[in-house]
Amino acid sequence: MLNGLNIEGTTPLHRMSVRMKLAILLVCGLALYAMSSFFVLVPAFVIAAIIYFTTGLAFREAVSRLKPILFTILILLIATAYLTSIHAAAESFFRLMAIVLFAGAVTATTATGAFIDEITRLLQPLDKLGLVRAADVGLAFGLVLRFVPDIFNHYQSIREAHRARGLKVRPLTILAPLIILTLKDADTIAMAIDARGFRRPRERRR
Amino acid sequence: MTTRDLVLIALFTAIIVVLGLIPPVTLGFIPVPITAQSMGVMLAGCIIGAKRGALAYVLLVLLVAIGLPVLSGGRGGLAIIQGPTGGFVLGWIVATFVTGLIAERLVKEGQSEVRQFAGFFIASVIGGIGVLYAIGMPWVTAVTGTPLSAVATGSLAFIPGDIVKAVIATLAARAVLAGYPLLHARA
């Protein structure tokens, strides 16, 4: 139900470390906002497009992922072109598309597990300070992925219950039972986690 | 943070993901179809409170960032956060926190039903609409260069739908408070 948006492959981007990719994305993003010359923005856009379309993503899939965001960008930039200048709108278009395409390429070439490992590693300093428990993040990810199908089943049975009684399926009559039904399990799940000792107890401060 | 809090946060994130899988409904008098997921901010703040609600959204944003298609319509990935509407995605965290903060202050168990409804509605409108747009709209302007006044005018089209969502979230939050109160419960 929740497959990652990444695809397997052996391109240089696939082999690069997650931290490196995120750092490049961040630096490129910030650098592009500082630029306003077409001599930089257009090549950046072309390079990002080449990287995005060579990640091994099927062309149709690659295009369909871009559609919703392209739609928003175009609507906003048509307004911008009308209200300010076509030049400014074109600038924003190339800059935004370059960033969006590169971000899409990072997403397409990074496995979910690798991301979670990297997040856990990045949180280590905070963990040492006692602010966050880095291991909790991985546990929380696991819980979400584990329970989405269950909650979807709850939703389907509530919908069936509506149909069986000839009621219209409305958000209002779905939400309350769905939320109560789901959160009611929290205690049992928490007890099961503690019983298995998944979370090490924090060392007592002296 | 207790294990129970951690589980509540993760379960709420999972609920928000599932709300994105439910087909959007159109209400007769509003042109834009309503996705159940967009009520998540108001629901999270009003039901599990400021801190846990905001953390549920931190988790959701991380799921988006690592490329899981958790948003309605199967959207996800870093491009969503880096794109023009990224401010709304990051704004969800703050908006949920504010919604929760107001709900925790205004709504108490044992109050009259009307006061609870009013409290949840005020929290949903200020947090889920006011704060969210206050972060999302300047972001759009910063990223695309569209003048803020134009972004604000365009956003007006979504306000009637947002008010309806606040009403639905209010009714649902109050039903959950009556059936399984969590807002004030700290383990």
Q: What are phi and psi for residue B71, nearest 5 degrees?
A: -90, 160
H helices present in B66-158, as ranges: 78-82, 86-106, 113-123, 132-144, 148-155
Burial of B91 (0-12, 13-18, 19+ CB in 10 A): buried
pLDDT at A188 over 90: yes
Position A4 in a domain = no
- A165 is written with which tokens? 């009684």
* Residue A205 domain-assigned (yes or no): no
pLDDT in tens, B127-162: 999 999 999 999 999 988 889 999 999 899 889 889
Q: Per-residue pLDDT averaged across A116-132, rounded?
A: 87
Q: Where are the domains of chain B?
A: 3-179
Q: Is residue A206 part of a domain?
A: no
pLDDT at res. B134: 96
The percent of residues in chain B predicted with pLDDT above 70, rounded, is 96
Residue A61 and residue A27 in one domain: yes
Return the residue in A1, A3, A5 with the most chain B beta carbons within 10 A, the one to mutate for interface testing.
A5
Whether the CB-CB separation of B132 and B165 falls below 8 Å is answered with no
What pLDDT is recorded for position B29?
A: 66
Q: How many domains does chain A have?
A: 2
| Residue positions counted in chain B | 187
Structure tokens at B93: 């965290």
pLDDT the model gives residue B165: 92
Number of other residues whose CB lies within 10 A of the CB of residue A54: 14
Q: Are residues A170 and A112 in the same domain?
A: no
Compare all CA atoms of chain A with the CA of B168 and give the residue at the minimum distance: A172
What confidence score (pLDDT) does residue B46 get? 95
**pLDDT band, very low/low/confident/very high, at B79 (cuts 50, 70, 90):** confident
Out of B3, B48, B68, whose CB is closest to A194? B3
Largest CA distance in chain B: 49
A187 and A113 assigned to the same domain: no
Domain B3-179 adopts which CATH fold?
Arp2/3 complex 21 kDa subunit ARPC3 (1.10.1760)
Question: Does A124 score more than 50 pLDDT?
Answer: yes
Question: Are B39 and B163 spatial neighbours (Cβ–Cβ below 8 Å)?
Answer: no
In contact, A176 and A112? CB cutoff 8 Å: no
| Cβ contact A89:B147 at 8 Å | no
| Cα distance between residue A50 and residue A26, in whole Å | 19
Domain boundary among A92, A122, A152: A122
* A101 and A178 belong to one structural domain: no
ipTM field: 0.91
What mean pLDDT, rounded, does chain A reach?
88
Q: How far apart are CA B52 and CA B10, in angstroms?
A: 9
Residues within 8 A of A (CB atoms), B 83-102 only: 83-85
Query: Cβ B2–A190 below 8 Å, yes or no?
Result: yes
Contact status of B164 with chain A (Cβ, < 8 Å): no
| Mean pLDDT rounded to a whole number for chain B | 90
pLDDT band at B169 (very low <50, low <70, confident <90, very high): very high
Instruction: Using alpha carbons only, give the angle A200, A201, A206 rounded to the nearest 5 degrees.
Output: 135
Check whether residue A65 and residue A92 sit in a common domain: yes
> Of the ranges A60-64, A74-78, B73-77, B92-96, which one carries the lowest mean pLDDT score?
B73-77
Of the candidates B15, B63, B79, the beta carbon closest to that of A182 is on B15
* pLDDT of A203 higher than 60: no
Residues A148 and A47 in one domain: no
Residue A201: band (very low, low, confident or very high) from pLDDT cuts 50, 70, 90: low
B183 vs A24, residue with greater confidence:
A24
pLDDT tier for residue B96 given thresholds of 50, 70 and 90: very high
Residues A80 and A178 both lie in one domain: no
Q: Do A96 and B83 touch (CB under 8 A)?
A: yes
Token pair, residue B44, equals 């999270």
Domain end marker among A122, A145, A166 = A122
CA-CA distance, A141 to B27, in Å (whole number)?
34
Rounded average pLDDT over A39-53: 93
- Rounded to 10 deg, the angle between the A86-109 and A18-34 helix axes is 180
Distance CA A113, CA A6 (A): 11
For residue B21, what are the contacts with CB-CB under 8 A and spacing of at least 6?
A152, A155, B72
Considering the domain architecture, whether residues A90 and A170 belong to the same structural domain is answered as no
The answer to whether residues A107 and A19 belong to one domain is: yes
User: How many angstroms separate the CA atoms of A1 and A9, rounded?
Assistant: 22
On whether both A23 and A103 belong to a single domain, the answer is yes
Residues spanned by the domain of A29: 12-122
Q: Is residue A3 part of a domain?
A: no
Nearest CA in chain B to A71: B84
Q: What pLDDT digit, counting tens, does each position of A8-40 carry?
A: 888 888 999 999 999 999 898 889 888 888 999
Give the pLDDT band (50/70/90) at residue B27. low
> How far away is chain A from the Cα of B56, in angstroms, using its nearest Cα?
10
Q: A93 and A50: one domain?
A: yes
Confidence of residue B126 (pLDDT cuts 50, 70, 90): very high
pLDDT for the residue B187: 40
- Tell me the average pLDDT across A104-108: 92
- Contact check, Cβ <8 Å, A144/B63: yes
pLDDT per residue over A72-91, tens digit each? 899 889 988 888 889 889 98
**Rounded mean pLDDT, B30-41:** 81
Q: How many CB pairs under 8 A join A and B?
A: 203
Percentage of residues in chain B having pLDDT higher than 90: 63
Q: Which of A65, A89, A122 finishes a domain?
A: A122
Least Cα separation, residue B8 to chain A (angstroms):
6
Phi, psi of B30 (to 5 degrees): -120, 130
Specify the pLDDT at position A172.
83
Distance from CA of A88 to the nearest CA of B (A): 7
User: Hey, what are B29's tokens?
Assistant: 């008098």
Residue B143 gets which letter from DSSP? H
> Which residues of chain B does A7 touch, with a Cβ-Cβ cutoff of 8 Å?
none
Residue B32 at interface with chain A, using a CB cutoff of 8 Å: no
**Chain A residue at shortest CA distance from B150:** A79
A146 and A99 belong to one structural domain: no
Q: Tell me the average pLDDT across A148-156.
A: 93
